[in-house]
Structure 1
Amino acid sequence: MLTTKSLKFLSRIGLLLIIGYWLMSCGKLSEQAPDPATEQTQTMASEEPIAYSMQEDPASIIVGEAAPDDAAAMASATPMDSSPEPEFGNILFNPPTHMIRDKTERIEVRISRDAMDASGLIGTGDVIKDTVRVSDRMSVALYGDKFNVIPITDEQQLLEASGYTEWSFDVTPLQAAKDQRLTLKVSIHFDSGLKNKLVYSQPITIDVDGKSAVLKWLTENWQLLMLLLFAAIVAFFVVRALRGGKKSYKRSGDEAVFISYRRDDSSGYTLAIYEQLKRALGDNAVFMDVDDIPHGEDFVVHLDKVLTKANTVLVMIGEQWLNAANANGRRLDDPNDFVRMEIAKALQRNIRVIPVLLKNAQMPSADALPETLQTLSRKNGIRIYDDQFEASIQRLLDAITAQ
């Protein structure tokens, strides 16, 4: 079950999520306020495209007005004008309004004599549609001092009689700043020897963010990340509750655990339990004869030293512990058997002895034990379950640390 402390922690996480969502909502409301600069840009974009000769200086052209010479050229033909009758079609392009520095995006331009849709575009910018003067051969160019613009298609292409012709550009911002300018220019070409004519010039305003793509994604999706974090925390506490919860054991400094076991009966289980106890109580608080007896030390003498310091003895009882035998008979019946000596000394000194039952082992009865070990049968044992190993270890630790 979840503890009161855990519930308080989860409540605080939930409160932080609510506050964050409210702050983000306030931010979205402020973003919806109209921006005068944006309104001005939209007004400029809605104005009639500029029409002037490629020989003329674009800086001399006023947005929304045709240059005097071009106005005359775009007017109805006079007997003195040999230019062909103007033909108009449709233009579609998809410039982004926001970009990230050093991140390339695709901008596509389609021109058609007939109506067309935006299906199949690779770029993700908002689609803008307009009318434009057309001819059999047309040029489309995209300019920007603070952008690296790479044309994917030829600048001059034939305009299809049906369908559309497409120009593509890969655009990479070089600097981070607001209101950076790209310019889209469209020109028609004549076969009659007349000079080419610029018939469409559209400024494109783009805000370039200096954040990396990863940081921008994290900023835009922080709510999702918080939700995932919250779900992970909840899952952690749920799993912990289902497993019974792991306790953090505070050592008193007096823990000294001696593990008595028979190698050919339970060495694998004992080693696993030994590692778990060392992890929880510390390396110096747990003793097992495999690694802890100094080389050249007399076992009986060293055992006496260890039991003098020990306050808990764990007796590992496997399925063959009681009846383990050698050529001389049952080993527990031998007064010099090390396991018998360990347990007998612990019982004689009134050291706390905890039987640990492994696999299907049962607690031995007093009649089945030598006289010096019969008190062991009255000790309350702890069973280690294979499918509940961690929970079993925690119960064992509870017993060891209980004073």
Structure 2
Amino acid sequence: MVSTDDLAGLAAVRRLGLLSMLLAVACLLGTAGALVLLPYAGPAGQGIVGGAGLAVAGAAFAFGRMISLRRPGVRRVGFVAVGLAAAAAVLFALLAVARSEAAAYFLAWLVILLAYAGFALHRLVRWPTGEIADEPPVELGIFISYRRDDSRETVGRLHDALRRGFDASRIFLDVAGQVPGEDYRALIGRALDAADVVLVIIGPRWVGIADAQGRRRLDDAEDMVRIEVESALERGKPVIPVLVQGATMPADEVLPVSLAPLAFRIASPLRPDPDFHSDLLRLVAALRARASDRPD
């Protein structure tokens, strides 16, 4: 499970991303101001000041952008941004000594850069676990079972998030794995054999969706979702019901006999925004824990 401290840490990281973007813009303005105050520094001096300002602005912008996009490698970029900010702070300290008439300006920037470097370094050292953690993809076979008419959009978000934290080639989603002309029962069987865990996505209509004749799909022995869940249970696969869009766990009496054991599996909620991200982190943490507990 993701701890309260981790969730607070993720909020702090998002604030750091916004702060980094603001610093990037401020650095461009601050560099322009510094160059105005150094009219006689010569091309070399102005080049050093301008280059330092642009380097900090570029690194801070890249860092903030990578945080917002949850890109891998974000921590490495963060440490680069911190190093450049600290180096620029030293430069401004020297300028404050060399140009006493503009010392207040340069000292103000010294404080800004050191404050940013300190806060960013603190957050980088205490980087949270979870979806945006700067970790290599985890090897875990994940089979996602869902009904398109029930939870397509939520499954799309979940699938995108899982691809960032787990080996994408080992995540089975029907739209990504079906081959025209292939027997879907055989395809499902092979995918389940390779899976380490099965996520059954249950939305508000998962139980009651009917076919064109008004018959409940779950009562059809050839229904693809029923086959997926039945086969997973028969194989003894770990099955995690994921409740989306406010759905609740179906009672065993409303399920076909072959699916009744699903009603007794502990579910993982995946609520709509603003709770989606925190619920997603808990699910990801549970999957990572399952991967680490898996025998080699």
TM range, smaller chain: 0.5 to 0.7
Aligned residues of 2:141 and 2:195 also touching (Cα < 8 A) = yes
Deviation per CA, 1:179-235, whole angstroms, max 9, x where unpaired? xxxxxxxxxxxxxxxxxxxxxxxxxxxxxx575552688422473322222234457
- Are 1:381 and 2:217 an aligned pair? no
Find the residue that maps to 1:259 and give its secondary structure: strand
Q: 1:100 aligns with which of 28, 41, 44?
A: 41
Q: 2:247 aligns with which of 349, 354, 361?
A: 361
Aligned residues of 1:100 and 1:213 also touching (Cα < 8 A) = no
Find the residue that maps to 2:230 and give its secondary structure: helix
Aligned residues of 2:130 and 2:285 also touching (Cα < 8 A) = no
Greater RCO (Cα-Cα under 8 Å, separation 6 or more):
2
- Are 1:230 and 2:118 an aligned pair? yes
Q: Which runs of 5+ in 1 are unaligned?
A: 7-95, 103-175, 177-208
Deviation per CA, 1:285-328, whole angstroms, max 9, x where unpaired? 21000121123322111111111111211000001111101114
Q: 1:321 aligns with which of 206, 225, 239?
A: 206
- Are 1:262 and 2:98 an aligned pair? no
Aligned residues of 1:315 and 1:356 also touching (Cα < 8 A) = yes
Aligned residues of 1:357 and 1:383 also touching (Cα < 8 A) = yes
Letter in 2 for 1:350: G
Aligned residues of 1:278 and 1:285 also touching (Cα < 8 A) = no
Does the C-alpha gap of structure 1 residues 234 and 336 become closer, same or farther in structure 2, counting only changes over 3 Å? same
What number of residue pairs does the alignment pair up?
Answer: 204
* TM-score, normalised relative to structure 1: 0.45
- Are 1:214 and 2:50 an aligned pair? yes
Find the residue that maps to 1:357 and give its secondary structure: strand
Letter in 1 for 2:285: D
Q: 2:219 aligns with which of 305, 309, 333?
A: 333
Q: 1:348 aligns with which of 216, 231, 234?
A: 234
- Are 1:390 and 2:277 an aligned pair? yes
- Are 1:304 and 2:189 an aligned pair? yes
- Are 1:372 and 2:258 an aligned pair? yes
Which residue does the alignment assign to 1:57?
Answer: none
Does the C-alpha gap of structure 1 residues 374 and 97 become closer, same or farther in structure 2, counting only changes over 3 Å? closer
Aligned residues of 2:131 and 2:284 also touching (Cα < 8 A) = no
Letter in 2 for 1:214: G
| Higher strand proportion | 1
Does the C-alpha gap of structure 1 residues 346 and 215 become closer, same or farther in structure 2, counting only changes over 3 Å? closer
| Higher helix proportion | 2
Does the C-alpha gap of structure 1 residues 101 and 312 become closer, same or farther in structure 2, counting only changes over 3 Å? same
Does the C-alpha gap of structure 1 residues 366 and 249 become closer, same or farther in structure 2, counting only changes over 3 Å? farther
Which residue does the alignment assign to 1:160?
Answer: none
Q: 2:173 aligns with which of 285, 288, 291?
A: 288
CA distance in 1, matches of 2:136, 2:123: 26
Q: Which runs of 5+ in 2 are unaligned?
A: 10-36, 54-87, 93-105
- Percent of paired sites with the same residue: 29
CA distance in 1, matches of 2:193, 2:176: 19
